[in-house]
Copies of this chain bind each other. A is one copy, B any other.
Amino acid sequence: MRFSFTDDQLAFRDAVRDLLEKECPPQRVRDAWTNVDGRSGAWDALEEMGVVGLSHPEVAGALGVDEIAVTLILEETGRFGLPEPIVEHTAVALPAVAQHIPEAVTDTSLFVAGGPMVPYATSATALLLERDRQLYLVDRSAATLTERASVDGSRRLYAVEWEPSNAVEIGGPEDAALAFDRGALGVAAQLIGVAQHLLDTTVEYAQARHQFGVPIGSFQAVKHHLANVALGLEFARPLVYRAAHSVARRDLDRSVHVSTAKAHASDAATVAARVALQVHGAIGYTTEYDLHLWMKRAWALAAAWGDAAWHRARVGRAILDTDPSEEQ
């Protein structure tokens, strides 16, 4: 038992962090709300660095990279608020497509996974979608896309109508389940990053903002709110890393681990957003201030790929409704 990252994994994480700090400042996230396609511009730099294609089995195999390394990077994309569909493409769709129809992958292809709504669908080459526990690849031109508005204006969401008869079936129930778990794990990692950002910026604000002649962070009520955020994050983060390990190793209890992680990460980020707004007060309630970009991301991702209640229910079916004699 050794529950920590390798130096290589951490070094790669740090490099991605440096890149995002430079290429994905809050202004880029803000711009993605209003520009044509919701892109921050950081994507190209990530592509160049090899991050976007990292999960292609050939690349991953050559570099010795697995879902553990990817998870650590997705956490950073959450922290910096990267709007692009890196979970949907890199964590979910690319490895599935590359495994089953390697010839479909080109240098410029962008795949997005999802359901019932798919983000960035109009930018994608093809969509990875599930129906009746089968996994399909649907060419963008074979799907009818209807734009939907998310509270997070940078997430370009589309409702998708499609028919299996116009799609390529690329996997069965186990592939569909793996794709789903990868998606839930990916947003769980992003939520950890989002929560960390919300905590950091709120602590900073509480140190600087004065009322009644003292920093508001010196009030015990504010301290305890922020301690609760730190508490949620401290105990959610290892669950996400553990789930990444389980996905990478195809652990039999993988889905329970992913659901436990996603539920805790959703709750941690939701609490972080709630406290961030309450501590900021009215200034956090404007769109001129950056805080709202991360709060809305937290709300969107907390509900995406199964919200906390859904994942708890899935865990419940596994731990409460099975025969106890089958357990370890």
Asked whether any CB of chain B lies closer than 8 Å to the CB of A100, the reply is no
Asked whether any CB of chain B lies closer than 8 Å to the CB of A224, the reply is yes
What is the 8 Å Cβ interface bit string for chain A, positions 230-241, against chain B (1 contact, 0 not)? 000000000000
Please, how many angstroms separate the alpha-carbon atoms of A224 and B219 in the complex? 12
Residues of B close to A219: CB separation below 8 A: 220
**In the assembled complex, how far is the CB of residue A172 from the closest CB belonging to chain B, in whole angstroms?**
38
Asked whether any CB of chain B lies closer than 8 Å to the CB of A221, the reply is yes
What is the 8 Å Cβ interface bit string for chain A, positions 214-236, against chain B (1 contact, 0 not)? 00000111001000000000000
Please, how many angstroms separate the alpha-carbon atoms of A264 and B211 in the complex? 36
Number of copies: 2
Which B residue's beta carbon lies closest to that of A219? B220
Q: By the criterion of a CB under 8 Å from any partner CB, how many residues of chain A are at the interface?
A: 4
Residues of B close to A224: CB separation below 8 A: 221
Which B residue's beta carbon lies closest to that of A221? B220
Residues of B close to A220: CB separation below 8 A: 219-221
Please, how many angstroms separate the alpha-carbon atoms of A219 and B220 in the complex? 8
Which B residue's beta carbon lies closest to that of A224? B221
Please, how many angstroms separate the alpha-carbon atoms of A224 and B220 in the complex? 10
**In the assembled complex, how far is the CB of residue A218 from the closest CB belonging to chain B, in whole angstroms?**
10
Please, how many angstroms separate the alpha-carbon atoms of A220 and B221 in the complex? 6
**In the assembled complex, how far is the CB of residue A212 from the closest CB belonging to chain B, in whole angstroms?**
12
Residues of B close to A221: CB separation below 8 A: 220-221, 224
Please, how many angstroms separate the alpha-carbon atoms of A105 and B155 in the complex? 74
Please, how many angstroms separate the alpha-carbon atoms of A219 and B221 in the complex? 9
**Considering the complex, which residues of chain A in the window 202-220 have a beta carbon less than 8 Å from any beta carbon of chain B?**
219-220
What is the 8 Å Cβ interface bit string for chain A, positions 43-57, against chain B (1 contact, 0 not)? 000000000000000
**Considering the complex, which residues of chain A in the window 272-313 have a beta carbon less than 8 Å from any beta carbon of chain B?**
none
**In the assembled complex, how far is the CB of residue A106 from the closest CB belonging to chain B, in whole angstroms?**
53
**In the assembled complex, how far is the CB of residue A275 from the closest CB belonging to chain B, in whole angstroms?**
14
Which B residue's beta carbon lies closest to that of A222? B220
**In the assembled complex, how far is the CB of residue A302 from the closest CB belonging to chain B, in whole angstroms?**
25
Please, how many angstroms separate the alpha-carbon atoms of A220 and B222 in the complex? 10
Please, how many angstroms separate the alpha-carbon atoms of A84 and B66 in the complex? 68
**Considering the complex, which residues of chain A in the window 141-158 have a beta carbon less than 8 Å from any beta carbon of chain B?**
none
Q: Return 5 A-B CB contacts under 8 Å, by A number.
A: A219-B220, A220-B220, A220-B221, A221-B221, A221-B224
